[in-house]
């Protein structure tokens, strides 16, 4: 057997052993809790809460990070026709310092955090179920390093209800007293 073939076989047999000794860094992923079917009334502003979780030992930048070069956490939605999304409300970040920048406070989310959507179906939208699709863009970091930005798919349904009919008003009473 030629020397090059022997070396090739040697490397093929050693590579799996080397790979076992090399720790693989798992890229952290934010998760979203299932959103229960939410009933919303057409013609009125309704709130929907999305609950996210950052894994223990990690943090992500808040929606308003403390420096321009940091990637903000942001939610983007594809909205069904005739349903409007108003303001998306993000929680305030927690100011924290890390070993890689001990003199700098960073605005971050850790653990659980909630993003609130203000949704208003137009008064002419047909009652029924509608599905929202979107993604949460974020960058996860630990105490030593930051990982490439990721996008978490977000999906939930709402059930649009008719607005209740206004109550009929009683006709004005005659000022005359009937005897």
**Any domain includes 47:** yes
**Any domain includes 18:** no
**Any domain includes 42:** yes
Place of tokens 């594809």: 78
**Any domain includes 59:** yes
6's enclosing H/E stretch is helix 3-21
**CATH code, domain with 111:** 2.60.40.1250
**Any domain includes 11:** no
| Integer angstrom CA distances of residue 72 from 84, 95, 117, 121 | 23, 14, 17, 28
The structure's pTM equals: 0.75
**Any domain includes 111:** yes
**Any domain includes 132:** yes
Radius of gyration of the chain (CA): 27
pLDDT in tens, the chain (179 residues): 443 333 333 333 333 333 344 345 577 899 999 999 999 999 999 999 999 999 999 999 999 998 888 999 999 999 998 999 999 999 999 999 887 778 889 999 999 999 999 999 999 999 999 999 999 999 999 988 889 999 999 999 999 999 877 676 666 665 665 55
**Any domain includes 167:** no
- Give the domain range for residue 32: 25-161
- Exposure of 80 by Cβ count < 10 A (0-12 exposed, 13-18 middle, 19+ buried)? middle
Measured over the CA atoms of residue 33, residue 34, residue 37 and residue 43, the dihedral's sign is positive
Q: What total of structural domains would you count in the chain? A: 1
């Amino acid at each position: 057997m030629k020397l090059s073939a022997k070396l090739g076989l040697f490397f093929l047999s050693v590579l799996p052993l080397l790979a076992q000794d090399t720790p693989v860094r798992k890229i952290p992923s934010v998760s979203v809790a299932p959103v229960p079917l939410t009933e919303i009334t057409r013609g009125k502003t309704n709130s929907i809460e999305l609950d996210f979780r950052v894994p223990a030992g990690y943090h992500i930048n808040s929606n308003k990070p403390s420096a321009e070069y940091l990637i903000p956490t942001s939610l983007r939605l594809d909205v069904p026709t005739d349903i409007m999304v108003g303001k998306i409300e993000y929680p305030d970040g927690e100011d924290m310092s890390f070993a890689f920048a001990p003199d700098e406070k960073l605005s971050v989310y850790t653990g659980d955090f909630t993003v609130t959507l203000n949704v208003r179906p137009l008064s002419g939208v047909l009652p029924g179920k509608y599905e929202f699709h979107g993604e949460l863009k974020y960058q996860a970091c630990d105490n030593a390093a930051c990982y490439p930005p990721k996008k978490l798919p977000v999906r939930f349904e709402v059930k649009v209800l008719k607005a209740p009919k206004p109550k009929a008003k009683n006709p004005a009473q005659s000022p005359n007293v009937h005897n």
